[in-house]
Structure 1
């Protein structure tokens, strides 16, 4: 029985140690994510927007990027970004669709918030 309890104790220690390591990794990832959002200006008032993106081939695309007052036409490859043309924002804004669907990231975050609020409301009862 002594050998069996030693194996059980070693197994519990191993699982606990793995839990501590995974928790530390999760905390570090959360901290890094928070830090990069602060440094990159994760606020909602972004002045640079990708208006459209058209893929031409593997790692090749043409992008319309809106900056205050101008729209840049960029050629993007795997190792380079080239300015192809500069357009006035007023001339291109008529042709771009106003109601573009939201990207997956913000939509998923909003759903998670709603799910969390729903769970919090059920637990409070």
Structure 2
């Protein structure tokens, strides 16, 4: 699978702490070699927004329009009480899933909860 980086995220990634960059690069390498299967963390479509969220409709529309997904990257660390493949962490990577066949574009990184989709400047 092909992996690219959004322009804004790519610039910011250069300044991330070494440990965070390593986990993000491990994710990228894994996806290039294995696709999105066999990942340790929870990986899900970002259109699965809690119905009580005051911005529910806006978040769902954005997620559908840009095919947004998010992956629990293990930063700061995984919750090991959950099984492999469904582990959560404080931070997630946001990516566009298959805008082109067999390609993802990593566009943002943020704390979760609360769930915040990438802003417009990150979706380019």
- Common topology (TM > 0.5): no
| TM-score, structure 2 normalization | 0.30
Greater helix fraction, Structure 1 or Structure 2: 1
Pair member with larger Rg: 1
